[in-house]
Chains A and B, each alone.
Chain A
Amino acid sequence: MTFQWIQIPYALLTLFIILNYGMLMTALIQKIGARVGGRYGIPIWQNYIDLLKNIALRSKISHGVMFYLGPVFRLTGGIGLILFVPTIYGSVMHQNFSFAGDLILALYFVFFGTLGMALGAAESGHPHSAIGVSRGLSQVTAAELPLALGVFAISLQYQTLNITDIVAAQQGSIFNWTLFTNPLATVAAMFAFVGTMMRAPFDVVLAPQEIPIGPPTEYHSSYLALMQTNRVLYPIAKTVIYMNLFFGGATSWPEFFVKIFAIYMVSVFIGVVYPRFRVEQSIQFFLKWGLPVGVLAILMV
C-alpha cells in the first residue's frame, strides 16, 4: 500500500475514537466492579475530569530529562501500537500505517512503553519506583515469551508477517478464527495478555498498598496526565492486536467495540477471581505453564 497524505488525518481520527472509547470503557469497567461490590461507582466521565485536573495543576517538579521522557516514551508505545496496526479490517479510513512486517513492529512496541518507563522512573530516584520497575520488567519479559511463541506459531500457520493478511485469512466464518484453527497459540498468547494488563494476579508492579504505587510514585500533574492517557490507550491497543491475530479482527466500529470489551473482560474476570502473585511466582507461572503451551503451538503448526 503506497503512502497518501490523507492517511494522516484518518489515523488521527482512529486515535481519537480509540482514546474516547478507552476513557469511557475503563470507567465503565470500574463502574461494573463497583456495582459488583455494592457501590454506585465513579461517574462515567470521571477519567476526563481527572485528566483535566492533572493538566490544570499549577506547579510541577522535574527530576531531569529522562523524567520528562519516561511518560512520553510510554505514550509513544501506546500510540505507535495503534498507528501501525490496522484497526478496522477492510476500511480505507482505519487501515492506519499498516505494512508488510507490522507484526514484528507491534511486538516491539508492546515492550517499548515499559522500557521508557524504566528510564523515567529510575531518574525520579524514588526507591519504590526502582522496585516497581525491576518487578515490571522481569514480569513483562517472562510474559512476552509465550506471546512471542504464539505469534511465531500463527505467522508460520498463515505464512505471513502482515496483520492485515492474517485478519483476511480469518474472515468468512467464526470457525476460521485463529481461536479455533490454532487454539494452542491463542492460549499461549492469552497468558501474555492477562500477564501484561496490570490487573490481578499480575499487578504486583503497581501494588498500591505495598510500594505506593510503583513506577509512577513521583509522577504528577502533566506527566501523570500523559500516563493516564496511555493507561486508557495502551490496553486497547494491545487488545486490538489480540483481536486481529486471534479473534478474527473487526470489520466495523460496533464489532470493534464489542470484541475489545469482551477480550478486555477476560483479564478483568481473572483479576477479580485470583489474588495477587509475587513476582517470582508469576515468572514461574509463565515459564511453567505459558512457555510449554507456546512451544507446543509451534510444534503443532
Chain B
Amino acid sequence: MKDMDKSFRKDTETEFPLREEMRPRTVTAPDGQVIEIDPLRDYFCEEAPKVHRKSYSAIVEGFYNWARANSLWILGFGTGCGAIEMRPLMTPRFDAYRYGIQWRPTPRQANLLIISGYLSVKTLKRAIRAYEQMQQPKFVVGLGSCTINGGMYWDSYNTIKRLDDYLPVDLYIAGCMPRPEALLAGLMELKKIIRRGEAEGANKYAENFDWYKANQKSVIKDWDMPDYSW
C-alpha cells in the first residue's frame, strides 16, 4: 500500500543540489562587514512542533469544541480535480456558509485543510508547508479516492497513494469525484468528530513527527525547507 516501489522513492544515494537562494554563502554588507549566511538555518526556525494539551476543564474544552465545530475555516487551497467540487458549496445551491463554514485565503487563519483529490509529490511539498503554518487545532479532510489509495492514479510515477502517511487525516470522503452533497455530509461528520473531541490530528502529527517527516522526505526529492514550517 505504501509508496514503496523503487522508481517512486527518492534516490538517497545521489545528493540533490539546493536551490541557489538556499545555499550557504558569504555576503559583504554595505558597511564592509563580511557575513556568513546559511539560509536554512538563519531564516527559519528549526524547532519541532509541540503537543498542545486540551483545556483542563472538560466543560470548557467541550464549549471550545462546539465553537470549533461551528466555525470551520477552510484554507482556499485546491490540489486536484476535487477543488471544483468545493465551489458549489459557496454558491446558492449548496451554500455551506449557513453551517458556519467559510473559506480563508491564508493558512494562518484557517483550521481545515481539504486535500481535494490527487496529490502530486510537487504539490505535497506545498500542502505540507500550508498544513504546518496553520494554527492548532487543525483538521485535514481527504477528498476523493485518490487520497485513500491513489484511486485512478495508483500507477502514477509522481502521485502519492496514501495521504495518511504524510499528514494526519481526520476524515476521508470517498468517491471519484464525490458530489457536493457528499462533501457537505462529510463536513457535517467532521463537525461531530470535533464535537466529540476526537479531532486531535495536530497533536498526532507532533507526537509522530519523526515518522511523518521520514515518510515525507522519502518521496519529496528536492527537500530544501526546514523540517517544520512555522
* Interface, chain A (partner B; CB < 8 A): 34, 37-43, 46, 49-50, 52-53, 56-61, 208-209, 212-213, 216-221, 224
Does A40 contact B108, Cβ atoms closer than 8 Å?
no
Which label, helix, strand, loop or mixed, suits the secondary structure of the B interface?
Answer: loop
Contact partner, B106, options A34, A46, A49, A213, Cβ 8 Å? A213
Give the distance in Å from the alpha carbon of A90 to the alpha carbon of B109 in the complex.
43
CB contacts (< 8 Å) of A209 on chain B: these are: 105
Give the distance in Å from the alpha carbon of A40 to the alpha carbon of B95 in the complex.
7
Please encode chain B, from 70 to 96, with 1 for each CB lying within 8 Å of some chain A CB and 0 for all others.
Answer: 110000100000000000000110010
Once A and B bind, how many residue pairs between them come within 8 Å at the CB atom?
77
**Interface residue B97 (Cβ < 8 Å from any Cβ of A):** yes
Instruction: Assess A224 versus B109: contact at CB under 8 Å? Given A39-B97, A57-B136, A61-B230.
Output: yes
Contact partner, A56, options B64, B97, B105, B106, Cβ 8 Å? B64
Does B95 contact A56, Cβ atoms closer than 8 Å?
no
Instruction: Assess A60 versus B109: contact at CB under 8 Å? Given A39-B92, A49-B70.
Output: no
Among A37, A56, A208, A217, residue most surrounded by chain B Cβ atoms (within 10 Å): A56
Give the distance in Å from the alpha carbon of A152 to the alpha carbon of B108 in the complex.
43
Kindly report which residue of chain B lies nearest to residue A56, judged by CB atoms: B64
Does B109 contact A219, Cβ atoms closer than 8 Å?
yes
Does A212 contact B105, Cβ atoms closer than 8 Å?
yes
Does B92 contact A38, Cβ atoms closer than 8 Å?
yes
A selection of 5 A-B contacts at a CB cut-off of 8 Å is: A52-B63, A53-B67, A57-B135, A58-B135, A213-B105
CB contacts (< 8 Å) of B52 on chain A: these are: 58-59
CB contacts (< 8 Å) of B68 on chain A: these are: 53, 56
**Interface residue B39 (Cβ < 8 Å from any Cβ of A):** no
CB contacts (< 8 Å) of B136 on chain A: these are: 57-59
Question: Of residues 46 to 80 in B, which have CB atoms within 8 Å of A's CB atoms?
Answer: 50, 52, 63-64, 67-68, 70-71, 76
Among B63, B100, B102, B230, residue most surrounded by chain A Cβ atoms (within 10 Å): B100
Does B67 contact A220, Cβ atoms closer than 8 Å?
no
CB contacts (< 8 Å) of A41 on chain B: these are: 95, 97-98
Give the distance in Å from the alpha carbon of A42 to the alpha carbon of B72 in the complex.
12
